[in-house]
Amino acid sequence: MADKLLPDAQSALAGLTFDGMVVMSGGFGLCGIPENLILALRESGVKGITVISNNAGVDGFGLGLLLETRQIAKMVSSYVGENKEFERQYLSGELQLEFNPQGTLAERIRAGGAGIAGFYTKTGVGTLVAEGKETRSFHGEDYVLETGLVADLSIVKAWKGDAEGNLVYRKTARNFNPMMATAGKICIAEVEEIVPVGALDPDQIHTPGIFVDRIVKGSFEKRIEQRTVRKREAA
């Protein structure tokens, strides 16, 4: 078995990046994002990439860093409302955008990882989402054809992993990560903790190591995207 465990994110990306590549990046908002691999992508200088991700991070953090350096040419996303630089680039025509209903995006990624070329869904029928796409009727209901998504590279973030690439995610940080791990031609995982092979309960493994090509232990800032607190009541 090839040694999957690498010392840092830069080493994990070595030999894998090229201009115009398609990258899937896990996470939901700032929860469960591959912070270290995003930074390594920025440092690699790769340009003209298409990024498939639920959103585009925020200004100055997450995928927002790649927007600032103009390394992203196109986003395939479902929500991008927290990033002013994204808004500016899109409205000025500098950035292409393919919007997806969130459930449709998740299923497109899952389908791509399962080798499913396309599927029909009711979501988006009769709206802009369906324009230019095939529609069919099943049992008297209209459905729109959506295609599966695959990427040249998937970068995901997990809680724990071992040297064979088996991964366990933690709570809501699981989000898009498991399906993206299956839908990349190459998958790199960054984790909070590396454990010995055999230490993970097989019944608790969310992504089997067969899907993971490289793994690295990262350090994480774990920002809170929108901090909401209750006002202190008067004594």
- CB-based burial label for 113 (10 Å; 0-12, 13-18, 19+): buried
**Amino acid in the structure at residue 39:** L
What pLDDT, on the 0 to 100 scale, is given for residue 230?
A: 86
Is the pLDDT confidence value at 2 over 70? no
Structure tokens that stand for 97 in this block: 């955008």
Q: Where are the domains of the chain?
A: 5-117+148-216
Task: Confirm if 52 and 73 have CB atoms less than 8 A apart.
Answer: no
pTM: predicted TM-score of the whole model, two decimal places: 0.94
Per-residue pLDDT of 59-78, as tens digits, reads 999 999 999 999 999 999 99
Residue that wins the pLDDT comparison between 222 and 130: 130
Q: Where are the alpha helices (DSSP H) in the chain?
A: 9-13, 35-44, 64-68, 84-91, 102-113, 177-183
Q: Determine how many CB atoms are found less than 10 A away from the CB of residue 91.
A: 9
Average pLDDT over residues 168-194: 98
> In the CATH scheme, what architecture does the domain 5-117+148-216 have?
3-Layer(aba) Sandwich (3.40)
